[in-house]
Amino acid sequence: QLETLEQEKQECLELRPHPTEKSTHMVSHHHGMTVTKTLQEGEAEPQCQSFSYSKAELRGLLLEGASLLLLRVLARRHTVPPGLVFPAIDNEGHLCTSSY
pTM over 0.85: no
Residue 1 confidence class, pLDDT cut points 50, 70, 90: low
30-34, 38-42, 56-60, 63-67: range with lowest mean pLDDT? 63-67
| DSSP secondary structure string for all residues of 69-81 | HHHHHHHHHT---
- Contact criterion met (CB below 8 Å) for 25 and 89: no
Phi, psi of 71 (to 5 degrees): -60, -40
Residues 68-93 as b/e (b if ≥16 CB within 10 A, e otherwise) read eebeeeeeeeeeeeeeeebbbbeeeb
User: Domains of the chain: which residue ranges?
Assistant: 6-99
Query: Side chain identity at 65, as an amino acid letter?
Result: G
Would you state the pLDDT for residue 63? 82
